[in-house]
Amino acid sequence: MHKRNRLFVSIALVYGLLGGLVAILRLIDPALIPGNVPRMHGHIMLLGLILMMIYGIALHVLPRFGGFPLYSERMADWQLYLANAGLPLMIVGWLTFIDGWVIAGGLLSYAAIILFGLNMILTVRAARSVSHES
């Protein structure tokens, strides 16, 4: 398994623990963490745990299932950087009530989503064109 994909899975699990901790602290006392905590918890769990887990697993298995190498390793690397720059920015934005940070983080996270989507489409299309030629 590529180191980048292992990083995605590992980071996903760490985000899962972080998101859970945020929820537990809020349940103990809503004033313990400032900011828009429910939205932060939801996005840490969905963008952090679930999406990063999907990134790591999908980047590993989809090329294999398609029978063709990943279209671009570089795109996948940038996807890792953008996703992990975007979510922390969003978290800081929600903690500090600075909407600009949330928007900037959201754009970076969305850029990672676009890179992933394009990379997967191009990988699967490449596999399809080869199978059509043969």
Partner 1 sequence: MKVELLVRSGCSSCAQAEAIWRLVVDEREFELAVLDVAEAAGSTRAEQLALKAVPAVLMDGELKAVGVVCIQEARELTQAAPLKAHAMLRRMGMFFSVENRWFIVSAQVYLMLAGIGLVLNGSLLSDSASRPAFLHLFTLGFLLFMIYGLGAHMLPRFTGNPLVEGSTWSWVQMGLAHVGVTAYAVGYFAGWQALTLGGAVFAWCSLLIFLLRVWPVLWPNKRS
Q: Which residues bind partner 1 (CB under 8 A)?
A: 1, 5-6, 9-10, 13-14, 16-17, 20-21, 23-24, 27-28, 45, 49-50, 53, 57, 60-61
Sign of CA dihedral 45, 120, 73, 61: positive
Interacting residues of 27 by C-beta distance below 8 A, sequence separation 6+: none
Cα(43)–Cα(16) distance, integer angstroms: 10
Q: Could you tell me if 57 and 42 are in contact, meaning their C-beta atoms sit under 8 angstroms apart?
A: no
Nearer to partner 1, 53 or 91 (CB): 53
CB 28, min distance to partner 1, A: 7
Amino acid at 119: N
CB 21, min distance to partner 1, A: 7
Nearer to partner 1, 18 or 120 (CB): 18
Nearer to partner 1, 51 or 108 (CB): 51
Q: Could you tell me if 93 and 110 are in contact, meaning their C-beta atoms sit under 8 angstroms apart?
A: no
CB 61, min distance to partner 1, A: 8
CB 91, min distance to partner 1, A: 18
